Structure 1
Amino acid sequence: MSAGVVNGGFDRRVVFLSDREGSARDQMARDREILSRPSLWRRSLLRLYRIRSGVTVGRSWAGTLPPEWPCSNEEIVVRPTGGGAVLHGKDLCLSLFVPWGQRFPRGQDWPHFYERLHGWLSMGLASWGIPSTEATSCLYPLSSSANTPPGGACFSEPVRGDRMSDGQKILGGALALAREGLLYQGSISLPIPNPRLSELFEGWYGLVGEEALADLLLRGREG
């Protein structure tokens, strides 16, 4: 754990939860449960998990699934955040909950925060031998229909701040601004099988990622 409560009352420690694998419905229900119970995240909480199979979509999504995806519209699970459709099964998912505070206020530049958060995750990608670049299209992944990719398929239509490698999107996410704090949901899609990808993330996070995330959150609007 990163130690200490800094000036302004912001607790820089981040609770890390490496959670069990589950269905898309179960994992989204888990995030909704945490989001509805602020007592579970009085400090920032990072949850790492895998979705066995299925498709999740942003809460304002109104597209159609690619015909090659093995999923019917009846099996779509809605996320509490924004964005388009994501086919799960081989990706690694993470959810970050951050309570509002003087050092992490609700009124900040959220597109810039999204870019910075993915910049933090790109450090992990680089440590696994996967260089990435930032997508620079003009759309943003907030929980608003205006920021949903036009065609609806997240990993075929990157938005600004997503990470690309060899022309392919490998990291995307979305934000939701709740009453008690911020929720970020992200997906890392790499040609690395699970559980090896989970092991790589946990190893990197324990060595350098946790402290770097604490610094990013501590800077808040200053970043």
Structure 2
Amino acid sequence: MDAIWLSPFYPSELADGGYDVIDYRNVDPRLGTLEDFDELVTALHAHGMKIVVDIVPNHTSNMHEWFQAALTAEPGSPERDRYIFREGRGEHGELPPNDWQSLFGGRPGNAWPTANGICTSSQWSSRTNWKNPEVHEDFKKTLRFWSDRGVDGFRIDVAHGLAKISTANPSPRWTRTACSTPTIAMGTTRCGAAPKCTTSTVNGTPCSMNTGQHASPSARHG
């Protein structure tokens, strides 16, 4: 063995196995400290081994400081532009903006769950807006942070999903088919799966793009 790969070890509520990241430049205190991480890197390099870590740029935890700021910011604000927001359909924005479905299946539009009366893209994470240069620069800062601490490489989680379709129009009906390779259409999809969603509002309150995971029944639109 000449390298190890660490799945996310960052502060997280662990709603998605650590992929719901609260702080990209720290270690979850349940796992250790930055000093512990530095010791690990030093020991690995001393044995001629390299270290690769997961980076999760496609979405953040809903407890990330950026998303918390976005929830209280005005439409069109810099805080909102770090994520992907869309208006809901219906007279009062009470309906999902389209009928896109979670990659994990379920009813049309179920990729638009709500939590505490506000659609937050899922109960625990929200899609970043990679058309925003600030998002690019912040993740460059994260890459530099860990590179400076001796990390040799990165595995980019959901790299295929960073570019997102921006339309909120209802999608055409999809026919599930069997295939052996992933397919890309109307945004990011997988073989036999419906496309991922954008975002909506609940009673006029905006919400952000889903990660493709479904929320609990009590946290879904409708």
Note whether the superposition's TM-score is higher than 0.5: no
Which of 1 and 2 has greater Rg?
Answer: 2
Q: Between Structure 1 and Structure 2, which shows a larger proportion of strand residues?
A: 1
* TM-score, normalization by structure 1: 0.28
- RCO greater where, 1 or 2, for CA within 8 Å and sep 6 or more? 2
